[in-house]
Structure 1
Amino acid sequence: MNILRSLMALILLAGFTGAARAQTQVPQNCDVTTASDPDRQVLTCALGIVIELEAAAQMGFSDLSSGSAPGVIDLDVGAALIEVEPGTALPQIRTPHAIAAVRGTVYIVDVTPEKTSVFVVHGEVSVTQHDTSDDPVLLTAGDGVDVGPGLQLEVRRWGDERAKALLARFAR
């Protein structure tokens, strides 16, 4: 099974009823379902990874080998909630602004043209900013960071309002 080749050949347009449509490459070792209220796409992948994408998200995969879990997930726009079983896989989420490296956790990455926001629900996530020599920051449950041009990597406890608003985008 050549997953890398199938990635290039397989583009899935999610069948959401809203105006925005997600365009996502889906590896062969992931099953795709849809969820609603709000509309989102759910990818359940081998080796303990579940990725929920809001309807407008655009995502792709790289660094895959046959039967493996996604090594690098490229999130270009929109938000994704990522659940990784501890000790199973260590994917990185690459955005235009940041790289979030999972350590077995549940977290959300939200990408806009101006910035990338990373929020940890459970576990730990290491976040670095593209094109800098700054050290990565480590987020734990309840922590978030905004990454973008001119922004310092500063770990903050997110207030209930901001965290709940982001989690509501995934019916949580």
Structure 2
Amino acid sequence: MGRTIRRVRVALAALFCIVGSHAALAQSPAGCSLQPISGTSRQVLHCKGGISITAEAGARFQLIDHNRDGQVDAVSLSEKAVLLDVDSKRVKGGFEVVTPQAIAAVRGTRWSVDVQSGKTSVLVLRGRVAVHRPDTRAGVSLGRGQGVDVDGGSSPLVVKRWPAARVSALMARLGQ
């Protein structure tokens, strides 16, 4: 019975993520609760274990519970951007965002992942994030203010300090 409830919650989470942040759910998906952001139509998904996910309007993502313990430990993102805040003191074993072009993994931090036009962009706002392509473990480590753009190719990943205008534009899309 517990597995069935967990699967229903994950399915509801997938529905929420595909429909968008304007949808209202009767149940909390995968141990998560929705919190409206006052003065906007946005909502933040707060999940057990110290994980917060803010999605850009229209973002397409799915919550994943790899080890089936009832707690979200990954997000599969296919379109637009999400902002994540992961509490390293409460999240055991790390957290990752998987996109068609990249995997961004952390122990605890605040970062954004954006999928557009065949590329994934990762920006770190606090902490460190390891980024690599799905087909290789070789990658880069990003620190605060650093970002990387990952395409479907095989060229080396290049860490860059993002200009303030690019950071501001992404954060505005996320209501920050």
**1:149: which partner in 2?**
152
Q: By percentage of residues, which structure has more helix?
A: 2
| Residues in 2 aligned to 1:15 and 1:136: alpha-carbon distance in whole angstroms | 32
Residues 8 and 88 of structure 1, relative CA distance in 2, 3 Å threshold: closer
Structure 1 segments, 4+ long, off by >6 Å, are none
Residues 108 and 37 of structure 1, relative CA distance in 2, 3 Å threshold: farther
Superposition TM-score, scaled by structure 2 size: 0.81
Q: Of 77, 98, 119, which residue of structure 2 is paired with 1:115?
A: 119
Q: 1:33-112 to 2 correspondence within 5 Å? A: 33-35=35-37, 39-62=41-64, 63-68=66-71, 70-89=72-91, 90-112=94-116
Q: Structure 2, unaligned stretches of length 5 or more?
A: none
Q: By percentage of residues, which structure has more strand?
A: 1
Superposition TM-score, scaled by structure 1 size: 0.83
Residues 49 and 57 of structure 1, relative CA distance in 2, 3 Å threshold: same
CA RMSD of aligned residues (A): 2.2
Deviates more, 1:138-147 or 1:39-48: 39-48
State the SS of the aligned residue for 2:29. coil
Q: Structure 1, unaligned stretches of length 5 or more?
A: none
Q: Of 138, 141, 144, which residue of structure 1 is paired with 2:141?
A: 138
CA contact (8 A) 1:82 1:107 kept: yes
State the SS of the aligned residue for 1:28. helix
CA contact (8 A) 2:88 2:109 kept: yes
CA contact (8 A) 2:21 2:42 kept: no
| Residues in 1 aligned to 2:132 and 2:39: alpha-carbon distance in whole angstroms | 32
Q: Of 152, 167, 172, which residue of structure 1 is paired with 2:171?
A: 167
| Residues in 2 aligned to 1:34 and 1:86: alpha-carbon distance in whole angstroms | 24
